[in-house]
Amino acid sequence: MQRSMAKALMDRLVKPAALALTIAGLPLAADARTDRPDLFVDVSGVVPDAVFDVRYFSTDNFVGTRVDGYGAARCFLTRPAAEALVKVAAEAKKKGLGLRIFDCYRPARAVAHFARWASDLRDEKTKPTYYPDVAKKDLFAEGYIAARSGHSRGSTLDLTLFDLATRRDIDMGTPFDLFSPRSWPDSAAVTATQRANRRLLAGLMSENGFKPFDKEWWHFTLKDEPFPDTYFDFPIE
């Protein structure tokens, strides 16, 4: 019994440290560009009717604190992605719907912040809200946290739809950033109506040049992104 308890204690102490060392060896932000190219635009200037609920500027996120690199509640995208999003917003408006945007361009330093948070297995304050169905130590292996993010290339965003008349979000079955199989776009764990709502969003995005992510119903990337191999680290200000 004492031996098993000792092993459990060592696991709690050693595994977080080992994970932190692993993360330290990954190319997080060191080789990312810190300049903001002219091709990046503030989305509020081209989709003024969108609601910008930038979660990583707030404490209402899985880290539980404002994330590194988010100095303002602004949304930047490459111009091609922003122009495609204008078309999405126009089509959504015809259906009485608007866009609520949670995240757009994400600095590489923010991704590094996520990695540091994921390496601290003792900090599980946000587990009940954001990852009740998965162990924190498995967030990397299961693809919910990564050493690099497509968001840092500037043509990926996270969003949902809301009813323009009531201002209420359309029911997608799970909240944004729930790390769970329930958040997979075609999850059978949500109702048929909720899946239909996800497909409505995916259809609007796909018809206007975006591709989905198989683990997050809210996540879309421009198919012909202008910086497919370049990651940026300029702060959001």
For 174-232, how does the pLDDT look when each residue is reduced to its tens digit (9 = 90+)?
A: 999 999 999 999 999 999 999 999 999 999 999 999 999 999 999 999 999 999 999 99
Phi, psi of 21 (to 5 degrees): -65, -40
Q: What is the pLDDT of residues 123-149, one digit of tens each?
A: 999 999 999 999 999 999 999 999 999
Domains parsed from the chain with CATH numbers: 2-222 (3.30.1380.10)
Name the pTM for this structure: 0.87
Catalytic one among 124, 142, 207, 216? 216
216 is catalytic: yes
- Strand segments (E) across 43-185: 51-52, 76-78, 97-103, 156-163
Helix (H, G, I), strand (E, B) or coil at 128: helix
